Amino acid sequence: MKLLKQKVMNEGIVLGSGVLKVDSFLNHQMDPVLMREVGREFTRRFAGEEITKALTIESSGIAPGIMTALELGVPLIFARKQKSLTLTEDIFVEKVYSFTKKESNEITVSKKFIAAGERVLIVDDFLANGEAAFGLARIVEQAGGSVAGIGIVIEKSFQPGNRLLQEAGYRLESLVRIASLEDGRVTFMGEDEVLPS
């Protein structure tokens, strides 16, 4: 996605060798035109998968998730990280570790929103080690649904998430793949670059 790559290059801020700050367009302030294009691109890439729901994690996954759900014509569910007074029973719970925030969260989804036989597309803003995607996939599978695919806006290809998810058998589509954040620069995966093993 050319528009997304340009945004990363022009507005992304590298914080050390493992963290890319994109809060001006993706996860604090959001660019609605870009999010619409993200939704369209995921819909194009996952065409024919008979998706019945989209699933993400709060809060950074909500913008790309809702635009993808809108384009697909399906509901979006977001897994909550914070405990809710109204969501206390009949829930799926999974523990996930956030690479960026260096903390574990219990994510929850109400059992009434994912039924057996559902074809669920997981959408998230970043992929590093794959913890969030695996947690969401486990929730779908606990419900008796199947993961139609995993759509990632920005993948840090120098971390193992891509490899681990593909080895587990999940179809993964990342809109932008970053090879390195070394020396304060964003280096994208080129056509001739391969993922580290």
Query: Does the model's pTM come out above 0.85?
Result: yes
**Residue 103: what pLDDT?**
82
State the pLDDT confidence band at 101, using cuts at 50, 70 and 90. confident
User: In terms of residues, how long is the chain?
Assistant: 197
Q: What is the mean pLDDT of residues 7-31?
A: 92
State the pLDDT confidence band at 18, using cuts at 50, 70 and 90. confident
Percent of the chain with pLDDT over 70: 92
Instruction: Burial-class residue 6 by CB neighbours within 10 Å (0-12, 13-18, 19+).
Output: exposed
Element (H, E) at 137: helix 131-142
Mean pLDDT of the chain: 91
Alpha-carbon distance of 52 to 121, in angstroms, equals 8
Cα within 13 Å of Cα(63), Cβ side: 19
State the pLDDT confidence band at 87, using cuts at 50, 70 and 90. low
Three-state secondary-structure class, residue 77: strand
pLDDT digits (tens, 9 = 90+) for 35-60: 999 999 999 999 999 999 999 999 89
